[in-house]
Amino acid sequence: MENITITDFAAEGKALARVDDMVVFVPWAVPGDVCDLQVRRKKHSFMEAEIACLHTPSPLRIKPFCQHFGVCGGCKWQQLPYEEQLKMKQQQVYDQLTRIGKVALPEFRPILGSVKTREYRNKLDFGCANKRWLTSEELKDEQIEKDVPAIGFHITGAFDKILPIEKCWLMDDVQNQIRNEICNYAIRQNISFFDLRQQVGLLRDVIIRNSNTGELMVIIQFHYDEEDDEQKAQELLQHVADTFPQITSLMYLNNQKCNDTIGDQEILTFKGNDHIYETMEELRFKVGPKSFYQTNTEQAYHLYCVAREFAFGSPLTLEGQGEAPLVYDLYTGTGTIANFVAKKARKVIGIEYVPEAIEDAKVNSQENHIDNTLFFAGDMKDILTDDFIAEHGRPDVIITDPPRAGMHPDVVKTILKAAPQRIVYVSCNPATQARDLQELDSDYQVVAVQPVDMFPHTPHVENVVLLNKR
């Protein structure tokens, strides 16, 4: 299709055009581009295509700063100025809440842009593979060696292929140095890289975390096959420790499962501590190898400030005048929000499905000498019963921060039954948030909406909504 004008952005960071009443989704494009499109997939109501020739670049288009842009799927909006990214995200939240939620909405607050737009992440996870991903051009080049191992990111739609990453801009540059040195050392020492299809190979995965206290954690995931694999792993770990003395927590594991998740694995400490610390205001949060912590530390602070403002801002009339409110924090995770708001609450009760996360939440309260929190592990609808509320008190405020899938319908029913005066809904997926707002609309009115950008150069956006009881 020739001389097609890209008109708008769509879901998942793709752009779109309309050709003969057919919607065409195009990755890596910018509204205003005029280009030839090569159709790759055709359905009854839409097509998917890629740019075959860019005739006239959009006035909005800028040069991406990353050499891996267009192949790595992590930062799909690098070709768009950050100010335009924020406009698109604000519009995305508005469209999803209005089209899906279909509830009365106040005027939205302007989106909070990220403090940093590069090196903003505190955690990156790199896969290892015995065969690197090759572009179509590289496959045709007979001079390029094909079966080369790599450490980098999984290619979208090719679970067993890894794009070798030379430089990622999302985290402090030390992660590039560590990852590249591990890869080079393993190749020099003939250490095998993992084959996901065959489930063999020693070097499997590398996780790097840093913190705003200056600490650095590295977790190397191995898969022991041969008798001498453990010795090879120890030698690699020692090389990393010697080369990067700034690492404060060097950890490893032998994962014999089919997948790379580490939540159910024993993680051993090779050097230093088994944790690092993050700070937020006067609080310190202990982060272990399995702990969840928002990956954009500085922006997480602004997100939680919004949640705290919504939870405790006036007017909030309590039965006991002058008494601090009782807060339930649903999907509390490691209790970051619960501990962050505890100072303003009479008590905070955190509920989370993952028992290990609840143990972290308790530790974080102890670390910060917070004595007005209680944490419970289990299914939300099983814990938040009439008997539970009778024992611990009816919540004045519920803060909920569910996963991307949103809240289970039974949880929504439970919230309606608990009948708090206000609900603060923190969401990483405004589409499922909009669906849940519709279910809450019978008893609650949306009174404030605050989008927050946690992930520059991606289409992802967080959104915080305040609901008051009608």
pLDDT at position 320 over 50: no
The least confident of 333-337, 383-387, 409-413 is 383-387
Give the residue with greater pLDDT, 156 vs 241. Answer: 241
249-254 β-sheet, strand order: 158-164, 150-155, 123-129, 203-210, 216-222, 249-254, 268-272
| Arithmetic mean of pLDDT over the chain | 93
Contact 39, 47 (CB under 8 A): yes
How far is the C-alpha of 73 from the C-alpha of 152, rounded, in Å? 12
**Is 428 in the active site?**
yes
Kindly name the residue from 66, 168, 183, 428 that is annotated as catalytic: 428
Where would I find the H helices in 219-312?
229-243, 297-312
**Bridge-based pairing state of the strands 326-330 and 397-400:** parallel
Helices 82-96 and 430-440 pack at an angle, to 10 degrees, of 30
Q: Model confidence over 21-78: pLDDT tens digits?
A: 899 999 999 999 999 999 999 998 899 999 999 999 999 999 999 999 988 888 999 9
pLDDT of the residue at 11: 81
Give the residue with greater pLDDT, 110 vs 147. Answer: 110
C-alpha distance from residue 87 to each of 12, 413, 419, 446 (Å): 16, 34, 35, 22
Give the residue with greater pLDDT, 13 vs 339. Answer: 339
pLDDT over 90 for what percent of the chain?
81
User: Mean pLDDT across the stretch 258-269?
Assistant: 93
pLDDT of the residue at 59: 96
Closest-CA residue to 166 (of 29, 58, 68, 46): 68
The least confident of 129-143, 168-182, 215-229, 451-465 is 129-143
How far is the C-alpha of 285 from the C-alpha of 75, rounded, in Å? 28
* pLDDT category of residue 174 using cuts at 50, 70 and 90: very high
Residue 154 in tokens: 């999984």
The least confident of 117-126, 135-144, 418-427 is 135-144
Closest-CA residue to 311 (of 122, 453, 439, 447): 447
Contact 312, 330 (CB under 8 A): no
* pLDDT category of residue 194 using cuts at 50, 70 and 90: very high
